[in-house]
Amino acid sequence: MASKEKLWSETSMLVGGELIDAADGRTFENVNPATEEVLGVTADAGRGEMAAAIAAARNAFDATEWSTDVKFRVHCLRQLQEGLDRHREELRALTVAEAGVPVSLTKGPHLDAAIALATWVIELTERYEWERDHGVSASGSHRFVRREPVGVVAAITPWNAPMQINLAKVVPALAAGNTVILKPAPDTPWTATAVGRIVAEETDLPAGVFNVVPTSDNAVAQLLAEDPRVDMISFTGSTATGRRLMAAAAGTVKKVFLELGGKSASVIFDDADMARAARAGLGIVWHAGQGCAINTRLVVQRGCYDGVLAALTGALAAIPYGDPTDQKTVMGPLISQTQRGRVLGYIERGVAEGARLVTGGGRPERLPTGWFVEPTVFADVDPGATIAQQEIFGPVLTVIPFGDEDEAVAIANNSIYGLAGEVNSGDADRARRVARRIRAGSVNVNGGQYYGPDMPFGGYKQSGVGREMGVPGFEEYLETKVVAYGP
């Protein structure tokens, strides 16, 4: 692990083109979840700094050519992408240190794929059709459909995949011509403030186009939803917080994008490839289960139930977990002591409600320091049980048996969420049929992988509103205008 001296400890916020501290000198601590050591502090924005950021973003949108000059936007975003690439290894160390992400995962969505996403968005911006000719109507009017930026976008991001989600919001929003205020989670501020410094020192983005405002105060963050100068909220986080933001934004009827919770199901039929099926439950160790799209319910046909369960528990026993700086580590810690307590509480609830604890269930004795929880599997879980219905956001898997196809689909859809899912079956037609019946935004079939910068990501039901990434994700940050010229 990089030493504290070598770690990029970016403590300042970016407001109106200037890197500043909080006016009253307030800070909050940034803590390493694997060691419980304080990495350093971050400027803690108050209402004054947030108001200044909103004013700067509003002025930059209204008074500069940022919203209309596509060529200049591409130039600036390419500078940002190049800056991210130059600082890739520093950002990697930051991500591991403050989020507890195993360094091996930063080779994918947690960093490298996030930078690749920026490249994809830049290329899309260059070829995007900003105005389309719809011809002359019967009345003789010549009509065009234009796509224009929404305005000031507030991007509110979580701690579980900070670099990926920061860039998945900020880059498309800027590319579309919006100005942006990024409010990162207080658990992972430096992955956002570092991007702020790159923008300030290594790009030509005009002052106020991009602002980074870390704060430990939820009331300060809520100003983004309430202020009429903000045109759109783009939020990723819990469903409960999403509901509150949506209600707060209703007062000004601003556009809201929400990517919220999940309780995704992986359906395994007894004719599936058993080796692949057994791996289906291993997603709970990916970043210690701290991912909204992880398949945390394994729905297994009774004919292969015992075999899948045995193979799964055997595979989990071999998973290396612990120090996230070790290249061999697959699972690191939970983000905080609070989150660990929450996850352990769900495990206790599962036992109390009668689920069978197969493996795990507590804190690993060999890791007394750090906020770790053992990979945990519950079998014979009632589909309506608390641990089968609520998002735990930890390394906990519920295994549920089923009989036929209809029952499998009913269990998979028995959730307020609909973010992702998976189907494994030797019958390709059945696998496709079940995938179509599952009410979720993304479904993998027989080893398929949906993730990519060109693929829209989001959910049905209470998993959110709208899509992130891909062309639909880019267009979330655009308005549609019809212009008709008379004969």
Please name the residue that has the structure tokens 């494994």: 424
Element (H, E) at 171: helix 162-175
CA 378 to chain centre: 26
Annotated active-site residue 304? The verdict is no
Q: How far apart are CA 201 and CA 133, in angstroms?
A: 40
Q: How far is CA 422 from CA 293, 344, 433, in A?
A: 11, 26, 12
Cβ(462)–Cβ(261) under 8 Å? Answer: yes
Q: How far apart are CA 225 and CA 309, in angstroms?
A: 45
Q: How far apart are CA 412 and CA 280, in angstroms?
A: 15
Q: How far apart are CA 260 and CA 165, in angstroms?
A: 12
Q: How far is CA 472 from CA 76, 198, 430, 455, 468, in A?
A: 23, 27, 29, 9, 7
Catalytic residue among 10, 49, 259, 468: 259
Q: How far apart are CA 341 and CA 212, in angstroms?
A: 30
Annotated active-site residue 259? The verdict is yes
The alpha carbon dihedral of 280, 341, 2, 93 has a sign of positive
Q: How far apart are CA 218 and CA 96, in angstroms?
A: 25
Closest CA to 276 of 254, 302, 253, 295: 295
Strands (E), 161-244: 179-183, 210-212, 232-236
Catalytic residue among 10, 76, 98, 292: 292
Contacts of 158 (CB under 8 A, 6+ apart): 165, 185, 236, 237
Q: How far apart are CA 378 and CA 298, in angstroms?
A: 10
The residues annotated with a catalytic role in the active site are 259, 292
